[in-house]
A and B are shown apart, each in its own frame.
Chain A
Amino acid sequence: MRVKFWGVRGSIPSPGPRTVRYGGNTTCIEVRPDDGTLIALDGGTGIFQLAQSVLGEMPLTAHVFITHTHWDHIHGLPFFIPLFVPGNLVRIHGAYDVVNSRGIEQVMDVQLQYSYFPVREAEMKARIEYQTLNLGEPFHVGDAIVTPTLLNHPVIDLGYRIDCNGKSVFFTGDHEPYLNIYDPTDPEYAGYQRIVDEKQAQVDAAIRGVDVLIADCSYTLAEYPAKRGWGHGTFDAGIELARRVGAKRLVCTHHEPTRSDDELERIFAETLARHPACPGDPEILLAREGLELDW
């Protein structure tokens, strides 16, 4: 299995000299199971670079899995060049939106409107198919199985586990560890905490034992209190999750757009110092554009 990072930034593309080592593109991760099937996790601006790298494989079939439909995870989609070339098949997978009662087919529809983009979906030459996924239901793609899990973000967010011949990777998309909305003194606190713990146990079970956990680690502990409820995790929460589920490797992603490469490395080093390695710990990496894991 091979995983390659094409976009690791959260919120908005952040090019420039301060982000040149880790990259300024928004989320896109290429996953290749053993048979080489092309899977793209999210369509942030990184998907444009991914597209350049697969032009030689055309005609191709691409399986795009969208964790959630916030801009930074979909705004590269209209620039996924294989969409414009006849003979290609692009399958876009994602969640059902309970608020407007639409499936993932809305993901390009909302972007490809006359005022915002010059090409209509009907004019794209590739065959485009949409697949709205059922939660927890394994979905076969080539020789891989993709299983979506509902996570915690201000819009429905699916974490994806991809299994292939005993190898596995899990990507959280954007996810904030579950919070108790009550104060410890409120009578509702204990009951709510019980449900939080149950839900967390379900999420842990879905991730358990993965080879590579790619997790939203947007904030430092110091930044987090001001960002509670925004739907993102911390480096520390990522490490705790990886330890709990016995992941072999943790890749921290969704870097803050204002974070320079130097700051990112400093924060990362501080985090690691706070969590001295224990036996059985995962290897912990910072996601950067171009990082490739092959196992």
Chain B
Amino acid sequence: MNSIAPELERKLGTAVERMPAFPASVQKILEMSRDINCLPKNLVGVIEKDPVMTMKVLKVINSAYYSLPNKITSVAQSVIYLGLNTVKNLVLSFAAVGILPRMNAAGFDIQRYLLHSLVAAIIARQLCGQHAGGQADPADCYIAGLLHDFGKVVFVQFMAPEFRQALALSAERGIPLHQAEVEVIGVDHGVVGALLAERWRFPDHLIECIRLHHAQDAPPSAMLDCVRMADQICRMKQVGDAGNPWWPDELPVAPERFGGDMAKVIDSLGDFDKIVSDAMLFAQAGR
């Protein structure tokens, strides 16, 4: 079973309104908001590195109120539509909610999660440019990479004991975390992330990518390939595994697109260590 009970859906849907963002971005946003000459692109740069802030900004701009002809998938787009000052005040209100505590009842390291999401986002965007030219939008792949594991922060915040159990089960039995989630919670983090993305009227291709990133039988798409490969690379290189380590017998995803040789794909990314160290610099701020 991998569907969500209506009661759980309601609980998660409303609870996320109160979800705090990551320490790194909250600290930077507060600093920037005190500087009237802060460059708009720097503000956007911080927001789009935080899955919670990004999710909340996209929620506002895609809300029924704006009923925009095309769904908005990037923070930069949101700035054009809402205006920079409105976005700045929005994220200040998100920052006022507080910060996600690094230590939580689920025993889940949110700093490593942030690093994982951020690096996956950057790699997914790069893979899209290199291996899926014209079939997907690199900016969409970035957002999908950033948000693919959003369901896990939702579990951490609102179902910590169950998520802790799923993490333990995954480690004990050597099964992927999403399978353990289905056993313990009845639903995996992809489905929960997609549920929120859908509730908040995100574009369909983004919702599906979040929902299906662990589904073996998902219909193939360039965006899904890029996000899955980015996720796999992060786990293989142990870049913030987000609770789901690399399995030695794991096969590379989408060999027809990426060639089936992980080492080669990683080489093609250029300076991988630089990507990771830059992301780490951001993720570790605000501790």
Interface residues of A, Cβ cutoff 8 Å to B:
96, 98-100, 134-137, 150, 152-157, 178, 181-182, 186, 188, 191-192, 195-196, 199, 202, 229, 231
Taking the closest CB of chain A, its distance from the CB of B64, in whole angstroms, is 8
Contact B84 A181 (CB under 8 A): yes
Contact B65 A181 (CB under 8 A): no
Interface residues of B, Cβ cutoff 8 Å to A:
39-41, 44, 60, 63, 65-69, 74, 76-77, 79-86, 89-90, 93, 139
Contact B66 A99 (CB under 8 A): no
Contact B83 A154 (CB under 8 A): yes
Taking the closest CB of chain B, its distance from the CB of A249, in whole angstroms, is 28
Question: Quick one: given A96-B65, A135-B67, are A229 and B80 in contact (CB under 8 Å)?
Answer: no
Contact B80 A199 (CB under 8 A): yes
Contact B40 A154 (CB under 8 A): no
Taking the closest CB of chain B, its distance from the CB of A39, in whole angstroms, is 23
Contact A150 B81 (CB under 8 A): yes
Contact A199 B86 (CB under 8 A): no
Instruction: Across the interface, name the chain B residue whose C-beta is closest to A199.
Output: B80
Contact B93 A178 (CB under 8 A): no
Q: Which of B68, B77, B79, B83 contacts A155 (CB 8 A)?
A: B83
Instruction: Across the interface, name the chain A residue whose C-beta is closest to B76.
Output: A192
Residues of B near A135 (CB, < 8 A) are 65-68
Residues of A near B77 (CB, < 8 A) are 195
| Complex Cα–Cα for A152 and B87 (A) | 12
| Complex Cα–Cα for A214 and B69 (A) | 26
Contact B81 A134 (CB under 8 A): no
| Complex Cα–Cα for A10 and B267 (A) | 57
Contact A181 B40 (CB under 8 A): yes
Taking the closest CB of chain B, its distance from the CB of A190, in whole angstroms, is 11
Instruction: Across the interface, name the chain B residue whose C-beta is closest to A157.
Output: B83
Instruction: Across the interface, name the chain B residue whose C-beta is closest to A152.
Output: B83
Question: Quick one: given A134-B65, A135-B67, A191-B139, are A181 and B86 in contact (CB under 8 Å)?
Answer: no
Question: Quick one: given A135-B65, A135-B67, are A98 and B85 in contact (CB under 8 Å)?
Answer: no
Contact A150 B66 (CB under 8 A): yes
Contact A98 B90 (CB under 8 A): yes
Q: Which of B67, B79, B85, B90 contacts A181 (CB 8 A)?
A: B79
Residues of B near A153 (CB, < 8 A) are 83
Question: Quick one: given A135-B65, A135-B66, are A188 and B41 in contact (CB under 8 Å)?
Answer: yes
- 30 pairs of residues in contact across A and B, judged by CB atoms under 8 Å: A98-B63, A98-B65, A98-B82, A98-B86, A98-B90, A99-B89, A134-B65, A134-B67, A135-B65, A135-B67, A137-B67, A150-B81, A153-B83, A154-B84, A154-B85, A154-B86, A156-B82, A156-B86, A157-B83, A178-B80, A181-B40, A181-B44, A181-B79, A181-B84, A192-B76, A196-B80, A199-B80, A229-B84, A231-B83, A231-B85
Residues of A near B60 (CB, < 8 A) are 98
Instruction: Across the interface, name the chain A residue whose C-beta is closest to B44.
Output: A181
Residues of A near B80 (CB, < 8 A) are 152, 178, 192, 195-196, 199
Residues of A near B76 (CB, < 8 A) are 181, 188, 191-192, 195
Contact A181 B41 (CB under 8 A): yes
Instruction: Across the interface, name the chain B residue whose C-beta is closest to A98.
Output: B60
Residues of B near A199 (CB, < 8 A) are 80-81
Taking the closest CB of chain B, its distance from the CB of A158, in whole angstroms, is 12
Contact B40 A229 (CB under 8 A): yes
Residues of B near A191 (CB, < 8 A) are 76, 139
Residues of B near A229 (CB, < 8 A) are 40, 84
Report, nearest first, the 5 A-B pairs whose CB atoms are least far apart: A154-B85, A181-B40, A99-B89, A181-B41, A195-B77
Residues of B near A134 (CB, < 8 A) are 65, 67
Contact A182 B41 (CB under 8 A): yes
Residues of A near B84 (CB, < 8 A) are 154, 181, 229
Instruction: Across the interface, name the chain B residue whose C-beta is closest to A133.
Output: B65
Residues of B near A196 (CB, < 8 A) are 80
Contact A136 B85 (CB under 8 A): no
Residues of A near B39 (CB, < 8 A) are 181
| Complex Cα–Cα for A134 and B79 (A) | 19
Instruction: Across the interface, name the chain B residue whose C-beta is closest to A136.
Output: B67
Instruction: Across the interface, name the chain B residue whose C-beta is closest to A135.
Output: B66
Residue of A153, A181, A191 with most chain B CB atoms under a 10 A cut-off: A181
| Complex Cα–Cα for A196 and B83 (A) | 12
